[in-house]
Amino acid sequence: MAAAYNEDKFKEHIRTVVEQAEGDSLTERPLTLSELKELAISMGLSEEEWDELQAKAHVHLKMAQDHLKARNFNDAIADAEKATQINPYLPNSNSVLAKSYQMLWLEDDDEKAREKAEYYARKELLTDPTDQIAINVLSAINKNKKIAGSESKSKKLFLYLGGGVLALLLIFYFMKSSSTSSAQSSELETKLIVAQEDVNAKFDLVQTAIDQRNNMIPDLFNAVDGNNSDLNALNKEIDRLREKLKTANGSERYKLESQLEEALAEAKKIVRQQGSADNVEVMLVQIEGAENRIAFEKKSYNDAVKAYNILVKQSKGEFPEYEIQPYYNEE
């Protein structure tokens, strides 16, 4: 990298350009990434320096996602903002910001955090209308607005009603009971939202652990030569199952994962018999460590599902959009 290049100064320039291009509206046209690159190149930045900066944006996003999973919301926001300062079009970066601000709002009842969660969720949907995290954030915010609107209407109704001391007392009693019931309902739904998000976060951790284990599978097969017909057949079967898992959900996913684990167990047995001890043992230890992590994350997920399902049952159908969730099939 050239000695005259100042990364911090360039980041600040990019941030300023992005802010000026976006303004305060989600409907205004921001500079595209290619336009930002052209601007940077015109300032004397080289292609290599630009690519290195984009790579750092991905590093910051990965750190932000890890912080979000660990519920370190402020740290997640800090790293996601660093990522978007470099590349405002980085996929999922605005989703991380939206989710982090949403969780801060739910924990602290911070209205500014809610506004930022909604802003970043809508911003993500401008570039990816199918982003499920952004959709879920907006859904939770809209539900909260409906509850707040219902409470506001109840209060206005009380002010407009009149006629007689007895009538006022009866109305007061009714509205007090209604307000108490509405407040309890709002509190319960907030708990449901938090519990549901916890379930989703724990599920993501399970899938991350499984992906980490699955990424080791090619190395396992490479530890032996490719002349074993049984091992080759297992390799094809595992590839087939991994491909189907990309679009599977619910009980179908659990069934496929169980089949994958059975095929992998058989493959490990053959590799242990056929492969070089030095090459195989290290790989098997790594895979078994990853499998222990999967078991831990599954248990954590099931604990979250249990807490969530209890809240769903306590709601007694008041919020039909929240349904009982099945436990993760560990068999």
In a domain, 196, yes or no: no
Q: Judge if 131 and 54 occupy the same domain.
A: yes
In a domain, 320, yes or no: no
Range of the domain at 169: 142-184
**What angle do the packed helices 7-22 and 47-69 form, to 10 degrees?**
80
Q: Judge if 212 and 299 occupy the same domain.
A: yes
In a domain, 324, yes or no: no
In a domain, 297, yes or no: yes
Q: What is the arithmetic mean of pLDDT over 126-142? A: 82
Residue 120, SS3 per DSSP:
helix
Q: Judge if 173 and 81 occupy the same domain.
A: no
Q: Judge if 213 and 163 occupy the same domain.
A: no
Residue 280, SS3 per DSSP:
helix
In the structure encoding, which two tokens stand for residue 254, read together? 């659990």
* Residue-wise pLDDT tens digits, 187-223: 777 888 888 888 888 888 888 888 888 888 887 777 7
Per-residue model confidence (pLDDT) at position 21? 43
* Residue-wise pLDDT tens digits, 144-196: 766 555 545 545 544 454 444 444 554 444 454 444 455 566 677 788 888 88
Tell me how far apart the alpha carbons of residues 29 and 138 are, in angstroms, rounded to a whole number: 22
Per-residue model confidence (pLDDT) at position 163? 43
Tell me how far apart the alpha carbons of residues 321 and 303 are, in angstroms, rounded to a whole number: 21
CATH code, domain with 33? 1.25.40.10
In a domain, 226, yes or no: yes
Q: Judge if 134 and 162 occupy the same domain.
A: no
Mean pLDDT of the chain: 75
Q: List CB contacts of 52: < 8 A, sequence separation 6 or more.
A: 1
* Residue-wise pLDDT tens digits, 34-76: 777 777 777 777 888 878 888 888 898 999 889 888 888 889 8
Are the C-beta atoms of 207 and 197 separated by less than 8 Å?
no
Its pTM surpasses 0.75: no
Number of other residues whose CB lies within 10 A of the CB of residue 128:
14
Q: Judge if 171 and 228 occupy the same domain.
A: no
Q: Is the confidence at residue 291, as pLDDT, over 50?
A: yes
CA angle 117, 27, 81 (to 5 degrees): 40
Is the pLDDT higher at 128 or at 225?
128
249: left (phi over 0), alpha (psi -120 to 50) or beta: beta
Per-residue model confidence (pLDDT) at position 1? 41
Q: Judge if 234 and 176 occupy the same domain.
A: no
pLDDT band, very low/low/confident/very high, at 287 (cuts 50, 70, 90): confident
Q: What is the arithmetic mean of pLDDT over 7-25? A: 51
Q: Judge if 129 and 83 occupy the same domain.
A: yes
Per-residue model confidence (pLDDT) at position 3? 40
In a domain, 227, yes or no: yes
DSSP string for residues in 38-59: HHHHHTT--HHHHHHHHHHHHH
Q: Judge if 23 and 124 occupy the same domain.
A: yes
Domain boundary among 184, 211, 236: 184
Number of domains in the chain: 3
In a domain, 193, yes or no: no
Q: What is the arithmetic mean of pLDDT over 115-120? A: 87
Are the C-beta atoms of 185 and 283 separated by less than 8 Å?
no
Q: Kindly state the percentage of the chain with pLDDT values over 90.
A: 3
Most confident of 177-191, 266-280, 299-313: 299-313
Per-residue model confidence (pLDDT) at position 125? 82
Q: Is the confidence at residue 119, as pLDDT, over 80?
A: yes
